Amino acid sequence: MNVRVIYKLIVVGFLWFVSQNTYGQNNSLKGIQKIKQLINDEKFEAANKELQNQILHLKSIKNYDTLTSYIPFVGSYALSNKNRDFALSKAIKFVNDLKKYQNPSISAKALKELAWIYEESGMPNEAYKTLKDAIVYANQLKENSSAIKADFNYNMGYYATQMGNYPLSKKHYFKSLQLTEKQDKKDYVFLQQINNALGGVMWREGKLDSSYLFFNQSLKALKNTKNEPINKYYRTSLVNMNLAVLSNMLGKNTEAILFSENAIKGFDKYIKIEENEQQKNAAKKNQLVAIDNLGVFYNTVGEFFEAEKIISYAYNQKKNMLGNNNPDVIISKIILAQAKLNTLDYINSSKLLDEALNIVESSSLNQLYWHATALLTRGKVYEQSKQIEKATEYYTKAEVVYRKSLAGKYNDDFLLALNNMGLFYAKNGQKIKAIQLAKETYNAVQNGDFKNTRQELSNLTTIAEIHFQLKDYIKAKELSQKAINFKININNKTAQDSILIYFDKPRAIYLNASSKYKLNETNNSDLLKDLLKQTETGIKILEQRKTIINTLNDVSKLMADNYDLFNLAKQLRLDLYELTKDKKFLSDLITIHESSIYNRIRSRLNLNNNMAFNNIPENITKRETELKNNIYKSFNTSESIKNYFDANEKWNIFLDSLKLHYPKYYKMRYSTIEEPLINLQKNIPKKTAVVRYLFIEKNLYAYIIDNQNKNLIKLNSENLNENIRKLGENPSDINVLSPLLFSLYKQLWQPIEKNITGENIIIIPDAELFNLSFETLTTKKITSLKELSTHSLLTKYIISYNFSLLLMDKTRKTINYNKDFIAFVPEFNDKMKENYKLTITDSISIDKTYLSLLQQPFSVDLAKEYSKMFSGTSFLNEKASKQIFINEAKEHKIIHIGTHAESNNVSPELSRLIFAKSASEEDNSLYTYEIYNQNLNANLAILTACETGKPSFQAGEGMISLAHAFNYAGSESILTSLWKIDEQSSAKIIELFYKYISKGYAKDKALQQAKLDYIATAEGRTIAPHYWAGLVLIGDTKPIDLQSSSNILYWFLAALSIILIILMIKKNKKSTKIN
The pLDDT confidence band at residue 700, using thresholds 50, 70 and 90, is very high
Residues 900 and 859: their CA atoms lie apart, in Å, by 11
Residues 681 and 636: their CA atoms lie apart, in Å, by 47
More confident residue, 586 or 547: 586
Residues 150 and 191: their CA atoms lie apart, in Å, by 10
pTM for this prediction: 0.66
| Residue 950 belongs to a domain | yes
Kind and range of the H or E element at 897? Answer: strand 892-897
DSSP letter, residue 230? I
Write down which residue in 769, 802, 835 finishes a domain.
802
Residue 403 CB contacts under 8 Å (≥ 6 apart), including other chains: none
* Same domain as 879, residue 746: no
Contact 833, 849 (CB under 8 A): no
1022: domain CATH number? 3.40.50
Residue 208 CB contacts under 8 Å (≥ 6 apart), including other chains: 202, 246, 249, 250
* Model confidence at 5: pLDDT above 50: no
**Average pLDDT of the residues in 664-688:** 72
**Average pLDDT of the residues in 608-629:** 75
| Residue 173 belongs to a domain | no
In the chain, the number of structural domains is 3
Residues 721 and 447: their CA atoms lie apart, in Å, by 46
- pLDDT per position as a tens digit, 903-931: 666 666 777 888 888 654 467 888 888 88
Helix pair angle (495-519, 454-469), 10° resolution: 10
State residue 907's pLDDT score: 66
DSSP, residue by residue, 409-472? ---HHHHHHHHHHHHHHHHTT-HHHHHHHHHHHHHHHHTSTTTTSHHHHHHHHHHHHHHHHTT-
State residue 815's pLDDT score: 79
Q: Rounded to the nearest 5 degrees, what angle is found at the Cα of 508, between the Cα atoms of 513 and 960?
A: 85
State residue 365's pLDDT score: 63
Residue 103 CB contacts under 8 Å (≥ 6 apart), including other chains: 64, 65
Nearest alpha carbon to residue 1031 among 1000, 990, 1003: 990
Please tell me whether residue 700 adopts helix, strand or coil conformation.
strand
Residues 1019 and 1033: their CA atoms lie apart, in Å, by 25
Residues 344 and 349: their CA atoms lie apart, in Å, by 9
Write down which residue in 772, 802, 832 finishes a domain.
802
* Same domain as 1011, residue 915: yes
The pLDDT confidence band at residue 492, using thresholds 50, 70 and 90, is very low
692: domain CATH number? 3.30.420
Residue 1006 CB contacts under 8 Å (≥ 6 apart), including other chains: 993, 996, 997
| Residue 834 belongs to a domain | yes
* Same domain as 833, residue 936: yes
Residue 439 CB contacts under 8 Å (≥ 6 apart), including other chains: none
Share of the chain above pLDDT 90, in %: 34
Nearest alpha carbon to residue 382 among 368, 367, 402, 396: 396
Question: Among the ranges 23-27, 941-945, 1053-1057, which has the highest mean pLDDT value?
Answer: 941-945
By CB atoms closer than 10 A (0-12, 13-18, 19+), residue 1050 is exposed
* Same domain as 1031, residue 924: yes
* Same domain as 939, residue 867: yes
* Same domain as 914, residue 873: yes
- pLDDT per position as a tens digit, 284-314: 888 888 888 888 887 776 677 778 888 888 8
Kind and range of the H or E element at 990? Answer: helix 983-998
- pLDDT per position as a tens digit, 201-222: 887 776 767 887 888 888 888 8
Sign for the pseudo-dihedral over CA of 950, 356, 77, 262: positive
The rounded mean pLDDT for the chain is 82
| Residue 770 belongs to a domain | yes
| Residue 290 belongs to a domain | no
Single-letter amino acid, residue 8:
K
Residues 459 and 906: their CA atoms lie apart, in Å, by 28
State residue 357's pLDDT score: 94
Range of weakest confidence among 49-53, 659-663, 1047-1051: 1047-1051
| Residue 1019 belongs to a domain | yes
- pLDDT per position as a tens digit, 96-130: 999 998 899 999 999 999 998 888 887 888 999 99
| Residue 855 belongs to a domain | yes
* Model confidence at 708: pLDDT above 60: yes
* Same domain as 958, residue 1069: no
Nearest alpha carbon to residue 711 among 685, 686, 691: 691
Please tell me whether residue 890 adopts helix, strand or coil conformation.
coil
* Same domain as 982, residue 875: yes
Contact 473, 528 (CB under 8 A): no
* Model confidence at 280: pLDDT above 80: yes
**Average pLDDT of the residues in 89-95:** 92
State residue 122's pLDDT score: 78
* Same domain as 1071, residue 1036: no
Residue 114 CB contacts under 8 Å (≥ 6 apart), including other chains: 71, 75, 91, 92, 95, 130
Residues 1043 and 843: their CA atoms lie apart, in Å, by 49
Nearest alpha carbon to residue 1037 among 676, 680, 688: 688
Residues 19 and 680: their CA atoms lie apart, in Å, by 62
Q: Rounded to the nearest 5 degrees, what angle is found at the Cα of 262, between the Cα atoms of 258 and 265?
A: 140
| Residue 180 belongs to a domain | no
Q: How far is CA 652 from CA 17, 606, 647, 670, in A?
A: 39, 16, 9, 11
* Same domain as 731, residue 826: no
Please tell me whether residue 709 adopts helix, strand or coil conformation.
coil
Residues 399 and 373: their CA atoms lie apart, in Å, by 10
* Same domain as 792, residue 689: yes
Nearest alpha carbon to residue 996 among 1006, 986, 985: 1006
State residue 573's pLDDT score: 93
Range of weakest confidence among 671-680, 694-703, 933-942, 1035-1044: 671-680
Contact 917, 847 (CB under 8 A): yes
Residue 870 C-alpha from the chain's centroid: 41
Write down which residue in 802, 827, 862 finishes a domain.
802
Domain span including residue 1050: 1045-1075
* Same domain as 1034, residue 1057: no
